[in-house]
Structures are given as structure tokens and as C-alpha cells.
């Protein structure tokens, strides 16, 4: 049965994507990435990873990192990622990632890494810990993608530069040693996934779980009352018409969220709330989001409570991921002249 599934998946294009275990997912993570991951399962051979190795470029409390990694794995499943249909694994469970990182680092130029805007941004924010990992983690990300011979990689604006680097490194390696890696293409999500969800308190900023203002973001495990309150207090403008246009960042953000959650176009949202004002609209968005996330909260509680099942899933996921990654790593090692183990 598994062989039949693998044969079927071989005909599909392969997608790789990862998410860091830096805390409970926000509504922005959910609508911008995870919703799309779920949809992609039906049409692609999907490989998803909790990229905990990337997380340690910033100092982490070990116990917290372990908990957040397991929570992120369970949350991903709770959001609809099927570990039977897709490969879902924890990055540090597949040693090929660390091994490929070294090889690919030797084919990545210092100048390429020094131009990475995220390194500059994070260095400015964490001036007390500008470590080598922070500088070279785009190489690890390239390995994440290239090890699985990925055809397509979903990317947001902030990760586009890293995918371009992965493509450049793959092309450089292939030019020297032949056709070792597939050259991955970016996946541009439709409006119902990959949407950029903004802060409820500062709608010109992206929603972030690291925001110091708890009213600025919605956690997908927030209670219904908390979610509704946050939307009712969302920053908007001094007008009253629920319409999508330039200069109405707060309302535009809420309309985007409502349209995705309810599966409606922006025009349909405008028609639904014509003449009703912001108060009615904000309450409706809060209710819709809270109701939509209720099954996620229930699923997460159920999956997290079953430690044996959770462990079985992440161990099996790592085995399936390793079987693919190790084939690519063996090919890399052979090409550069390493003796076969």
C-alpha cells in the first residue's frame, strides 16, 4: 500500500516547506501558511518540517524549545496536515540536514550571505548575539529544500531572497558535478492562502507572535472570548464604511481575514456589511475567526494528550524524510569525492 502511495506521489510535483517552533502559531501563520499547506496535500507530494535547527540562531530555553517543537508538530496536525498523506517531521531528527549544510556552505560565497537582508535585520535586533549560525542559516535552508529534490517552495516576501540563494547554490553545484539537484521554483499562493495578515494594533505591520502588545495578534489557541475582544478592539480609521481601499489598512486587514475564513470575495464582504458600520463588522470577524478555530483547538488538545501517537507520527515522519534526504546526500558525497560509508 505504501509503495502504491509513493508511486502515486512520484507523479506529483514535490513541495517542501518549514515553520519554526517559536511559539503558538498566530492567525497570520495559520492563514498565511498552514491553511495553504492543508490544501496543497491533495495535489502535491508534500514534505513539511518543524525547523527547530533554525530556531537556535537566537538563544532558546532548552525546555521551552522542546515543548514548542512538540506543540508546533501537534498544532500542524491539528490544522489539518495528515502525517499519512504528507511527510511531517522534526528537522533535527534527520541528520542529513546538518551534513548537507556543511557541503553546501563550501559552495556558497561569503558575499552572497552578507547581502541577506534578514541577517542585517536580525543582527540589528540582537546585537549581543550575532553568531555564525545567524549568518549561515540560509545555507541550512538551502539544504532543507535541495535534499528533497523539491520542485516548488511556498515563499513569502521575507523568504524570497533565501530561495534565490538555494537556486544559485544548486545551479553552481550542478554546473560542477552534473544534475544533482532539482532547481526549485517559488510557489505563489492564491489569495486564500499565503495572505499577509497584519497586526490588529498596528495594521501597517505584519502580525507577529513576538509583539509585546497581546492585542496585536491572535493565537490560534486563544479562547473565543479573547478572540472576539481582540477584534472588537482592532485599530481601524475614522470612517464607518466597510470598503477595501488604499489608506484603510485596518479595515483592509479585517476584510482579508473575513474573506479567507468565510470563503468570500472582498466584493461579497463589502455587500454583506454595507451600511452596518465598523462595530458590527469587527464583532462578526471575531465570531467567524473564533468559530473557525474551535476545531483546531479541540484537535490540538486531543493530539497533545496522546503522547504515544504523537511520538509515533514524528518518528515515522523522520524515517520517511530520511529515506529521501539520505539518497540526495549520498549523491552529493559521491560527486565531491567522499568515500562511501
Q: How far is CA 139 from CA 15, 121, 235, 273, 312, in A?
A: 18, 17, 39, 48, 30
Dist. CA 116–CA 119, nearest whole Å: 6
Q: How far is CA 226 from CA 235, 248, 292, 310, in A?
A: 16, 24, 14, 28
- Which of 81, 126, 75 is CA-nearest to residue 304? 75
**Beta carbons of 85 and 91 less than 8 angstroms apart:** no
Question: What does the DSSP 8-state code read for residue 170?
Answer: H
Integer-rounded Cα Rg, in Å, for the chain is 21
Q: C-alpha angle 88/93/96, rounded to 5°?
A: 100
Q: What is the 3-state secondary structure (H, E, C) of 121-169?
A: HHHHHCCCCCCHHHHHHHHHHHHHHHCCCCCEEECCHHHHHHHHHHHHH
Determine the 3-state secondary structure of 57 from DSSP: coil
Catalytic residue numbers, as ranges: 122, 206, 209
**Beta carbons of 286 and 231 less than 8 angstroms apart:** yes
Query: Which residues in 239-255 are b (16+ Cβ under 10 Å) and which e?
Result: eebbebeeebbbbbbbb
For the chain, helix (H) and strand (E) counts, in that order, are 15, 5
The residue to which cell 494528550 is assigned: 305
Question: What does the DSSP 8-state code read for residue 93?
Answer: G
- Name the grid cell of 296: 483546531
Strand pairing category for 45-50 and 14-19: parallel
Amino acid at each position: 500500500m505504501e509503495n502504491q502511495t509513493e508511486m502515486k506521489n512520484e507523479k506529483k510535483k514535490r513541495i517542501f516547506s518549514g515553520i519554526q517552533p517559536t511559539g503558538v502559531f498566530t492567525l497570520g501563520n495559520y492563514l498565511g501558511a498552514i491553511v495553504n499547506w492543508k490544501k496543497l496535500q491533495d495535489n502535491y507530494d508534500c514534505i513539511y518540517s518543524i525547523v527547530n535547527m533554525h530556531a537556535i540562531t537566537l538563544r532558546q530555553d532548552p525546555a521551552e524549545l522542546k515543548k514548542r517543537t512538540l506543540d508546533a508538530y501537534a498544532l500542524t496536525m491539528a490544522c489539518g496536515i495528515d502525517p499519512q498523506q504528507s511527510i511531517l517531521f522534526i528537522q533535527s531528527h534527520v541528520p542529513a540536514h546538518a551534513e548537507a549544510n556543511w557541503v553546501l556552505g563550501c559552495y556558497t560565497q561569503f558575499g552572497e550571505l552578507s547581502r541577506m537582508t534578514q541577517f542585517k535585520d536580525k543582527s540589528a535586533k540582537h546585537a549581543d548575539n550575532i553568531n555564525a549560525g545567524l549568518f549561515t542559516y540560509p545555507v541550512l535552508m538551502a539544504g532543507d529544500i535541495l535534499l528533497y529534490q523539491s520542485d516548488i517552495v511556498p515563499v513569502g516576501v521575507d523568504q524570497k531572497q533565501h530561495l534565490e540563494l538555494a537556486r544559485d547554490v544548486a545551479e553552481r553545484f550542478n554546473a560542477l558535478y552534473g544534475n544533482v539537484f532539482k532547481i526549485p521554483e517559488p510557489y505563489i499562493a492564491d489569495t486564500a492562502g499565503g495572505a499577509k495578515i497584519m497586526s490588529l494594533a498596528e495594521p501597517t505591520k505584519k502580525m507577529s507572535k513576538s509583539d509585546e502588545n497581546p492585542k496585536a495578534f491572535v493565537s490560534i489557541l486563544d479562547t473565543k472570548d479573547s478572540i472576539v475582544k481582540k477584534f472588537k478592539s482592532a485599530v481601524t480609521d475614522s470612517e464607518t464604511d466597510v470598503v477595501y481601499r488604499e489608506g484603510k489598512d485596518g479595515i483592509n486587514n479585517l476584510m482579508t481575514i473575513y474573506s479567507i475564513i468565510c470563503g468570500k470575495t472582498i466584493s461579497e464582504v463589502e455587500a454583506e456589511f454595507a451600511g452596518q458600520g465598523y462595530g458590527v463588522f469587527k464583532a462578526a470577524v471575531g465570531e467567524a475567526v473564533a468559530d473557525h478555530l474551535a476545531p483546531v483547538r479541540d484537535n490540538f488538545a486531543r493530539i497533545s494528550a496522546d503522547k504515544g501517537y504523537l511520538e509515533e507520527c514524528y518518528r515515522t515522519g523522520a524515517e520517511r524524510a530520511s529515506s529521501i534526504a539520505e539518497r540526495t546526500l549520498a549523491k552529493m558525497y559521491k560527486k565531491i569525492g567522499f568515500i562511501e560509508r
